[in-house]
Chain A
Amino acid sequence: DAGVTQSPTHLIKTRGQQVTLRCSPKSGHDTVSWYQQALGQGPQFIFQYYEEEERQRGNFPDRFSGHQFPNYSSELNVNALLLGDSALYLCASSHGLAFSNEQFFGPGTRLTVL
C-alpha cells in the first residue's frame, strides 16, 4: 500500500501564474481533503472532495479550486499566484465522511512563489 502520494514534491512559480497539484489517496479511500501549511504554522483546511463534489470549504478565495476524478484522485488548482501562497500543500485521504474516520496525510508539495 503506497499510502497517500502527492506530486510534484517541490514547485517554483512566479506571481500571477497558475499551478496544479496532484494527490492520489490511500487505497480504499474515497475522500480527499487539502490543507495549506505556511512556514511555522499549523495546516489550514482548504476544501474536501467526496463523490467528485466539493463538500466543505475553508476560508480560502475562489482562486483555489479543485477537482476529484472517478478514481478518487484529486487536483488542487491555484490561479493568479501571490507571494503569500508559498506554503506546503498537504493532501489527506479518508474513507467516507464520518467524523471518526482517520485522515492519512501525504508528504506534501512545497510551493514557492517568487
Chain B
Amino acid sequence: GEDVEQSLFLSVREGDSSVINCTYTDSSSTYLYWYKQEPGAGLQLLTYIFSNMDMKQDQRLTVLLNKKDKHLSLRIADTQTGDSAIYFCAEGAGNMLTFGGGTRLMVKP
C-alpha cells in the first residue's frame, strides 16, 4: 500500500533556508503536493509538482523530486516567523491524496 513518511520536527533561525524532506512509495503517483497547516486552520496548498518533473520553483519555494529514490523535498528560502506551521507532503492518484504525518517547522527570531 501507499506510505508517505516525513521527519517530525525542524527548527531554523529566521532568514535561514528550511528544507523539509519526504519519501513516498507509490510509483503511480501523478502529482506530489506540499500543504501547510497553521493552528486551528485547514490545509493550504503551497505548491505541487507533476511526477515527470525534477524541480519546480515558486517564489521562495523550491520543490525537488527524485523519482528514482521516491524522495521529495521542499526548500523555503529566507524563512520567516510566519512560516512556522506543520507541513504535509502528499501524493495523488486521481483525486485521492495520501498524506505524510507532517513536519512541524519552528522558526526562531
* A33 contact set on B, CB distance < 8 A: 95-97
Q: Which of B22-68 contact A (CB under 8 A)?
A: 30-31, 35, 40-45, 48, 50
Q: Which of B11-19, B70-78, B99-107 contacts A (4 or more CB under 8 A)?
A: B99-107
Asked whether A56 and B99 contact (CB < 8 A) given A42-B4, A90-B42, A108-B42, the answer is no
CA distance A4 to B41 in the complex (A): 12
**Interface range on chain A: under 10, 10 to 19, 20 to 34, or 35 or more?**
20 to 34
A97 to B99, CA, bound (A): 19
Does B82 have its Cβ within 8 Å of any Cβ on chain A? Answer: no
Tally B residues with Cβ within 8 Å of A. Answer: 25
> Are A107 and B96 in contact (CB-based, < 8 A)?
no
Q: Are B92 and A99 in contact (CB under 8 A)?
A: yes
Chain B residue nearest to A59 in the complex (CB): B1
B109 in the interface (beta carbon within 8 A):
no
Report A-chain residues with C-beta under 8 Å of the C-beta of B48: 102
* Bound: A31/B4 CA distance, A: 24
Contacts of B88 in A (CB 8 A): 42-43
Given A44-B99, A106-B42, 5 more pairs with CB closer than 8 A: A4-B42, A42-B99, A42-B102, A48-B95, A56-B96
